[in-house]
Amino acid sequence: MEQVQYNLLYRWFIGLAMEDAVWVPTVFTKNRERLLEHDAVIELFNHVLQSADGHGWLSGEHFSVDGTLIQAWASHKSFVRKDGSDGDQGGGSFKGHSRSNETHQSSTDADARLYRKGGAASELRFMGHTLSDNRHGLIASAVVTRADGYAEREAAKVMIDDARQALSDAQTAITLGADKGYDAQEFIEACLAMNVTPHVAQNTSGRRSAVPDEIAQSEGYAVSQQKRKLIEQGFGWAKTVGRIRQVMVRGLERVDQMFVLTMAAYNLTRMRTLGQIRLQGQ
Q: What is the DSSP string of 80-130?
A: EETTSTTTTS-S---TT----TTTEEESS-TT-EEE--TTPPPEEEEEEEE
Mean pLDDT in residue range 236-261: 93
**Helix, strand, coil % in the chain, rounded to nearest 5:** 45, 15, 35
- Min mean pLDDT across 34-48, 111-125, 232-246 is at 34-48
What's the confidence (pLDDT) of residue 11? 52
Q: Which of 170-174, 201-205, 256-260 has the lowest mean pLDDT?
A: 170-174
pLDDT at position 122 is 84
Please report how the helices 151-166 and 185-193 are oriented relative to each other, as an axis angle in degrees rounded to 10. Answer: 10
Phi, psi at 248, each rounded to 5°: -115, 25
pLDDT value at position 3? Answer: 47
Beta strands in the chain (DSSP E): 62-71, 79-81, 104-106, 113-115, 123-133, 139-146, 174-178, 196-200
Tell me the Ramachandran region of residue 21: left when phi exceeds 0, alpha when psi lies from -120 to 50, beta otherwise: beta
Residue 40 pLDDT: 81
Domain 2-74+109-281 carries which CATH code? Answer: 3.30.420.10
Enumerate the domain spans of the chain.
Answer: 2-74+109-281
Amino acid present at 127: M
pLDDT at 221 over 60: yes
- DSSP assigned state of 22: P
Give the residue, 165 or 280, on which the prediction is more confident: 165
The pLDDT score that the predictor gives to residue 15 is 47
pLDDT of residue 117: 80
Write out pLDDT tens, residues 77-134.
899 888 877 654 555 455 556 778 888 999 999 999 999 887 777 899 999 999 999 9
Under 8 Å between Cβ of 75 and 94: no
Identify which of 34, 260, 22 has the alpha carbon closest to the alpha carbon of residue 144: 260
**Predicted confidence (pLDDT) at residue 56 exceeds the cutoff of 60:** yes
pLDDT digits over 140-196, tens only? 999 999 999 899 999 999 999 999 988 888 788 999 999 999 999 999 999 999 999
Rounded mean pLDDT, 13-23:
48
Beta-bridge partner residues of 70: 126
Answer yes or no: pTM beyond 0.75: yes
Rounded mean pLDDT of the chain?
A: 85
Q: Rounded to whole angstroms, how far apart are CA atoms 142 and 133?
A: 12
